[in-house]
Structure 1
């Protein structure tokens, strides 16, 4: 009778092709970080525009500065 806890000898750890998983993970991380930057800039813009005494121009300038600074920060990232 076969042992139900016996692991097959056919599988060798690290032998599976993972290129597709790697590209999916990189796409997800890219969308997450750039989407977070866009949301942060949008929230700053809307907050400064609609606060009492706020203005469209001040919100736009601040959101633009945040977006540019965030762009350079995220582009510099980790070097492999």
Structure 2
């Protein structure tokens, strides 16, 4: 059993597809969370406060702008 040979060589496998899938899932999670948060904020401000529709839209747009600024991919950053 100790002499069994395999075709597996550690670190030799191409992982570009796994990396692409991971980046896609993380992107969907990140932007989907921002969209969900903006929707919840918009509905909450519109229906549960006296700010009305316009106040809700302004709040949601501010949240989306801040989220896009903070969640965008940074240039030169590995993480």
TM-score tier, shorter chain, comes to 0.7 to 0.9
What is the Cα deviation at residue 52 of structure 1? Answer: 4.7
Equivalents in 1 of 2:14, 2:43: separation in Å?
45
Equivalents in 1 of 2:16, 2:54: separation in Å?
46
Match status 1:27 vs 2:19: no
May I ask how many residue pairs the two structures share in their alignment?
77
Equivalents in 2 of 1:12, 1:48: separation in Å?
57
CA RMSD of aligned residues (A): 2.0
Larger-gyration structure (1/2) = 1
TM-score by length of 1: 0.83
5+ long unaligned stretches in structure 2: none
What is the Cα deviation at residue 9 of structure 1? Answer: 4.0
5+ long unaligned stretches in structure 1: none
TM-score by length of 2: 0.84
SS at match of 2:57: helix
SS at match of 2:31: helix
Large movers: runs of 4+ above 6 Å:
none
